[in-house]
């Protein structure tokens, strides 16, 4: 088993134990409303939101290439001999 898999399993078990130990109701005041919900539900909800935010922030970005926006000129890219006739003449005569 890979280390990453073992860490994910460990965190899942730890989160489950923490959630099960905190089942009593707790009071939440949001703006003008007061709500009584179980700590289990609150912690589970916050865990899910944190996971989703972590996935969204941690995913790799799309890499844009500048070369895609410029048309390629195949006639100049495939040329291996770029010497002019004058240059060839100069090189061939000592």
Q: What is the pLDDT of residue 20?
A: 81
pLDDT tens track for 24-51: 888 888 888 888 888 888 878 888 999 8
The verdict on residue 72 lying in a domain is no
Low-confidence ranges of the chain (pLDDT < 70): 63-79, 94
Q: Within a domain: residue 67?
A: no
Q: What is the pLDDT of residue 13?
A: 92
DSSP 80: -
Residue 15, in any domain of the structure: no
Q: 37 is in which domain, residue-wise?
A: 23-57
Residue 27 falls inside a structural domain: yes
Residue with tokens 């000129």, as numbered in its chain: 73
Whether 89 is in a domain gets the answer: no
What per-residue confidence (pLDDT) applies to 28? 83
Q: What is the DSSP letter of 61?
A: P
pLDDT at 87: 85
Q: 39 near 26, Cβ under 8 Å? A: yes
In a domain, 30, yes or no: yes
Residue 44 lies in a domain: yes
pLDDT at 74 (0 to 100) = 55
Domain count, the chain: 1
Q: Quick check: is 80 in a domain?
A: no
Q: Is 18 helix (H, G, I), strand (E, B) or coil?
A: helix
């Amino acid at each position: 088993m890979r280390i990453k898999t073992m860490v994910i399993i460990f965190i899942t078990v730890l989160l489950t134990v923490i959630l099960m130990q905190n089942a009593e109701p707790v009071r939440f005041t949001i703006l003008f409303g007061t709500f009584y919900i179980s700590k289990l539900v609150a912690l589970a909800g916050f865990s899910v939101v944190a996971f989703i935010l972590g996935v969204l922030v941690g995913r790799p970005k799309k890499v844009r290439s500048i070369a895609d926006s410029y048309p390629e000129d195949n006639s100049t890219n495939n040329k291996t001999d770029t010497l002019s006739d004058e240059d060839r003449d100069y090189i061939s005569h000592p």
